[in-house]
Amino acid sequence: MPSEDPDEWYRVAGGESGYIAPDPENPDITYGGSYGGYLERYDRTTGNSRNINIWPDNPMGWSAEDIAERFQWTFPIVFSHHDPDVLYATSQHVWRTDNEGQSWERISPDLTRADPATTGPSGGPITKDQTGVETYATIFALAPSYHDPNVIWAGSDDGLVHVTRDGGRNWTDVTPPDLPEHTRISLIEASPHTPGKAYLAGNRYLLSDFVPYLYRT
C-alpha cells in the first residue's frame, strides 16, 4: 500500500526513465540509469553522487547508426545473484563491472540484429526526434541465473535471445523459432527454483500487433 508519509520517500540514483538497482549489501547505495546511457551511483548516507557511464559520448540528436554504444532509455542494470560486487548493464553489448563502475568490461558481441533499416534517423522532415527512446537495436532485457554465475540471458528490442554459459566468453542464439522478427524482448526472468528454466515476455505493439508473446524454456 503506498505510503502517505513524505518522510518515507527519498532520492535514489538515476533519472526519469531508467531502472534502479540497490547494492545487495548496502541499500543506501543505489545505481540508476536514464536516457543517453547515463548511469549514476548514489550514496544516500553521504549524499555523494558519481557518474559511472559506460560510454562517455552524449548521443542526444544522433541516429542509432551513428552511435558507438546504443543505450535504450530503460537499459537493464542488474546485480549478479552470486557476487554482490558484480553489476551488469547493457547497450547492444553486455557490460560488467566489479568495482562500482570505476571501470567496465565488455563481455559480449553485438547481440542485436542491428538491421540498418531500423537504425536510421527518426522524425523529420524539418527536425529530428532523437532523444534516445528512439534508439533501436539494443539489449532490452538481461537475466543472470540464480543457480550458475556463468549463465546470463539477454534479449534485444529487435527480437533476439541469447544465453552465455561461460560468463560471457561465448553466446548462443536461442531465439524461439516461431517468435516473429522484431519482437521486443521486454522481460526475461530466470527461474529461482529450477536451473536452466527461464521465462520471456515480448511485445510488438509498435508494429500494430497487440498479441502478448510469452515463452518458457
Contact predicate 84/154, CB 8 Å: no
Q: How far apart are the first and last CA of the chain?
A: 34
Amino acid, res. 167: G
pLDDT in tens, the chain (217 residues): 566 777 788 999 999 889 999 999 999 999 999 999 999 999 999 999 999 999 998 888 888 899 999 999 999 999 999 999 999 999 999 999 999 999 999 999 999 999 999 998 887 777 777 777 888 999 999 999 999 999 999 999 999 999 999 999 999 999 999 999 999 999 999 999 999 999 999 999 999 999 999 999 9
165 CB burial (10 A radius; 0-12, 13-18, 19+): middle
The closest of 110, 113, 94 to 179, measured between CA atoms, is 113
Q: In CATH, which of 3.40.50.970, 2.130.10.10, 3.40.50.300, 2.30.40.10 is domain 64-216? A: 2.130.10.10
Residue spans of the domains in the chain: they are: 64-216
**How many C-beta atoms lie closer than 10 Å to residue 68's C-beta?**
11
If phi > 0 it is left, if psi is from -120 to 50 it is alpha, else beta; for residue 161 that is beta
